[in-house]
Structure 1
Amino acid sequence: MDRTRVRLAELLAVLSLASDLGMGQPMDHVLRQCLIALRLARRLGLSEADREVVYYTGLISWVGCHIDAYEQAKWFGDDLAFKTDYRHTDFPSASAERMFILRHLGAGRPAAERIRLGFGFLGAGHRVAETMLDNHWHASDRLTQRLGLDQRVRDGVEQTFERWDGRGAPKGIRGEALSMPARLVNLADVVEVFHRAAGVEAAVEVARARSGTQFDPAVVELFAAEADSIFADLDGIDSWETVVAAEPALDGRLTDAELDSALAAIADFADIKSPYTIGHSRAVADLAGAAAESLELPTAAQVRRAGLIHDLGRLGVSNAIWDKHSALSPVEVERIRLHPYLTERMLARSPALAPLAAIAVQHHERLDGSGYPRGLSGAAIGMEGRVLAAADFYRSRTEPRPHRAAVPTPEAAALLRAEVRAGRLDGDAVAAVLRAAGHRGHRRRTWPAGLSDREVEVLRLLARGMSNREIAEALVISRRTAGHHVEHIYAKTGTSNRALASLFAAEHGLIGETGAADLSS
């Protein structure tokens, strides 16, 4: 048996660490939550099949919580702080939800801007808030499907967003109609946060406070009676090792094809955090992989895989920073410079993924030592890292960012060559990336879901967070026509809002492609 192959449990555990970052939680929150849910499942005498559902549901339920981070930051300031506070709040009534929203609306902004946002929230913002939980479930469900997990796990993921009192999403399921795995994961998620902050008594207190509203009263009573033993060794064990060892499958190792497919799915989920990066990782991976092959690197496949997940650490930085249109503060810059390190820390937990971590962490390093996160220079940067850095630089310049427009591909190539002359990027790596980029200019004639060329153009702008008015101005069409295009896109793709349409675009590689309908080149 090839022990270098990645186990499904390892990949899901990495995803759980990314979920932690996206929710503003410390790494290992989801792993510890999974262990708590499994311990409750054993005390309840659940069957092996049900414990398997608890296991996979616990690891993957929250992975979609960053899909609308752009909207969260737009209305509520720091999306990570917003989601952190969400776990500390119960919502037993509509008035409790309204108070939570009002308390966070425009957080951290001047009073005048908060008032302006308040008026805007009465329209579009309120509708966005109402769809958030639905978006999170849809995104998590889609990834569950792409990773090949069975329907019972998908059902568990769906019901994790439900509540005992029926005030949850997406269907308002209540009481005994809720599956037991979903009840356990929902409880474990919250009590882990309170236990980490203030110990066993705080965890029991919050469980009892939400008994009959968010949580099943019978499960709460069992938890309260067993809390001391459930938490007894939680702080002293390696959560990663314990969770991976508890994987239900005898051999859940992925084939190369399955791993590539799974990493592509993870790339899409990392990129949709911001409208400005949708499709970025796929495009970088394709470019870096082709360049590595042209250089005859024996690790070309590893370079491509590292490209797919090189930006996973972006989930640990608020969209209030990523999507900021004005100059970043020194503190914000330092936060951004951490994201390759966060990528490395997540991937390095898995021995099989550690080689990808070593490549991915170098995508912002520079030969003269001016890069980050470690300021490596010269021979300390491997050829794989040099290729990935060149591919990331080139692709980033052909994509818009909040503070600048995309540049045409000839200008991006010129900027890349200038980096070589300045001694920051490797000449051979840059030449290989430019050769690879020069062979990616064909026009894609047939689009998924029957989308037209114009609808793909509109979808790309919609994914970037543009309103119908802004789309109309960019394409020199009427606002009404832009609205019709958006409605047609929703109907054809089976989506209902920007976040879900963006996920569709990411999954089908529509943002990173070049061609007649590509507005970023």
Structure 2
Amino acid sequence: MGNVVRLAEVLGALSRALDLTEGQPPGHCVRCCWIGVNIGRAMGLSEQQLGDLYYSLLLKDLGCSSNAARICDLYLADDLSFKNDFKLLDGSLPQVLRFVLSHTGVNTHLAQRFRSIIAILQNGGQIARELVETRCHRGAEIARQMHFSAAVALAIEDLDEHWDGGGKPVGKAGEDISLFARIALLAQVVDVFHAASGRHAALREVGNRSGSWFDPVAVAAFQAVAEEDRFWDMLSRSDIEETVLDMEPGQKAALADDDYLDDIAQAFARVIDAKSPFTSGHSERVAVFTDLIAEEMSFDFSRRRWLKRAALLHDIGKLGVSNCVLDKAGKLDDGEWAAMRRHAELSQAILSRITSFADLSKVAGAHHERLDGKGYPNGLSGEEIDLETRIVSTADVFDALTADRPYRGAMPVSQALAILWEGAGTSHDPACIRALERALRKSELAAA
């Protein structure tokens, strides 16, 4: 549990969660890292600059979950497909108009859809600026919490600025824009268009935007590296993540010790919880309740620390669930329920990519299993569900019951505990509920 791991490996895996919430094919941030570092080398960046660029590219979408709920609310649309399709726009008015008309309120009543379209067309510039500003500021703030340099935070802050001053959120232009942001935006567009339509579409799009969206010097560097077949071949290879992790910036990066891994887990919990207004602070509270239960059950410090990390990251798969599902006030239909249930599998898949998180990923993947075998995703029962998972599951449900949700208000602690006891032996381990009750009495929260 106290192993030191390579930072690049941790962030490469966690970047997969950022791909999910941006509606991008898996590995988008990793592919952008390959593209961007090659551009940076062609531009003659120093090794130190390449290191900052490397992490700017892996973490460029750190703030992306923070505007998902608002996109869903404003455009009456699935935020994941909306974000994916939006990245294919060049910002021209005809394209934007067609996009708004084709993506706003498609599955709603005509009058509701019409009202939303009119509101967007009347206030579109302000709405877009606010969405980008929220995303960029939040991402930069989280990067600083993860101890990255001011240069990395600024790259995330400036990601949506354009060379000609026509970008957002503040309309920076030319060399006032972070160099790493200029490269990251270029890399992003290359990957999006290459994934959608191939290398020639990517080259054409970059050429069309040179001098408007993109720094012409960065474009020239990209065009130089784009002449090599290996550059393009790597984007389609299954081992691209391994290759990116073995690149010089990732090799030279500092190793992540337990203290740093704790900070990364806490920072990523903020990314997870920003996805929905109804989950604000959820992961951190689950970690607190998990630790209280573990302490009552006499877990030692090392085990408690590891388990708290699992609790902070248990819902990372929710970044791949649309806010149309997460924030729905009514009952979920069969398709929506299937999408919601998938988050546990996604959590395990993302975390299992980190060698030292293999055991932790199993807790995240099984936190909705039940003792009677009626949980998901694998219908585990009884002793198949380990104690650590039972603890996180109890903490998770307790927090869900005592917090506001789209379909009901928060419950008093006493009522939440009564509901936990109704499921004792079927849903939850009675020993975990007893430990939670003892901990709450000590903290004088039980009467709340």
Report the Cα distance in structure 2 between the residues aligned to 1:124 and 1:216, rounded to whole angstroms: 29
DSSP-derived class of the 1:152 partner: helix
Q: 1:16: how far off? A: 1.2
**Which residue in the other structure is 1:418 paired with?**
422
**Which residue in the other structure is 2:195 paired with?**
196
Please tell me the residue identity of whatever aligns with 2:418.
A
Structure 1: stretches of 5+ with no match in the other structure: 443-513, 516-520
Please tell me the residue identity of whatever aligns with 2:440.
A
Q: Does structure 2 conserve the Cα–Cα contact (< 8 Å) formed by 1:71 and 1:128?
A: no
Q: 1:392 aligns with which of 381, 396, 407?
A: 396
DSSP-derived class of the 2:33 partner: helix
Q: 1:214-293 residue pairs with structure 2 within 5 A?
A: 214-227=213-226, 228-246=229-247, 247-248=249-250, 250=252, 252-293=254-295
**Which residue in the other structure is 2:83 paired with?**
83
Q: 1:429 aligns with which of 413, 421, 432?
A: 432
Q: 1:93-492 residue pairs with structure 2 within 5 A?
A: 97=96, 100-121=99-120, 127-227=126-226, 228-246=229-247, 247-248=249-250, 250=252, 252-298=254-300, 299-421=303-425, 423-441=426-444
Question: Relative to 1, partners in 2 of residues 1:407 and 1:65: Cα closer, same or farther, differing over 3 Å?
Answer: same
Deviations 1:9-49 (A, max 9, x none): 23322331111011011221101111111112222222112
Q: Does structure 2 conserve the Cα–Cα contact (< 8 Å) formed by 1:313 and 1:341?
A: yes
Q: Which has the higher helix share?
A: 2
Q: Does structure 2 conserve the Cα–Cα contact (< 8 Å) formed by 1:75 and 1:125?
A: no
Please tell me the residue identity of whatever aligns with 1:81.
S
Report the Cα distance in structure 1 between the residues aligned to 2:287 and 2:218, rounded to whole angstroms: 45
Q: Percent identity?
A: 36
Report the Cα distance in structure 1 between the residues aligned to 2:125 and 2:186, rounded to whole angstroms: 27
Report the Cα distance in structure 2 between the residues aligned to 1:288 and 1:387, rounded to whole angstroms: 6
Q: Does structure 1 conserve the Cα–Cα contact (< 8 Å) formed by 2:2 and 2:257?
A: no
Structure 2: stretches of 5+ with no match in the other structure: none
Q: Does structure 2 conserve the Cα–Cα contact (< 8 Å) formed by 1:164 and 1:214?
A: yes
Q: Does structure 2 conserve the Cα–Cα contact (< 8 Å) formed by 1:367 and 1:378?
A: yes
Report the Cα distance in structure 2 between the residues aligned to 1:194 and 1:378, rounded to whole angstroms: 48
Deviations 1:29-84 (A, max 9, x none): 10111111111222222211221121011011111111021111001211111111
Q: Does structure 1 conserve the Cα–Cα contact (< 8 Å) formed by 2:129 and 2:168?
A: no
CA RMSD of aligned residues (A): 2.3
Report the Cα distance in structure 1 between the residues aligned to 2:123 and 2:381, rounded to whole angstroms: 48
Deviations 1:309-342 (A, max 9, x none): 1011111001011111122110110000010111
Report the Cα distance in structure 1 between the residues aligned to 2:236 and 2:121, rounded to whole angstroms: 44
Question: Relative to 1, partners in 2 of residues 1:262 and 1:368: Cα closer, same or farther, differing over 3 Å?
Answer: same
Deviations 1:96-123 (A, max 9, x none): 5455444433233221211232455478
Worse-superposed segment, 218-227 or 292-301:
218-227
DSSP-derived class of the 2:138 partner: helix
Q: 1:351: how far off? A: 0.5
DSSP-derived class of the 2:88 partner: coil
Q: 1:240: how far off? A: 2.7
Report the Cα distance in structure 1 between the residues aligned to 2:364 and 2:306, rounded to whole angstroms: 10
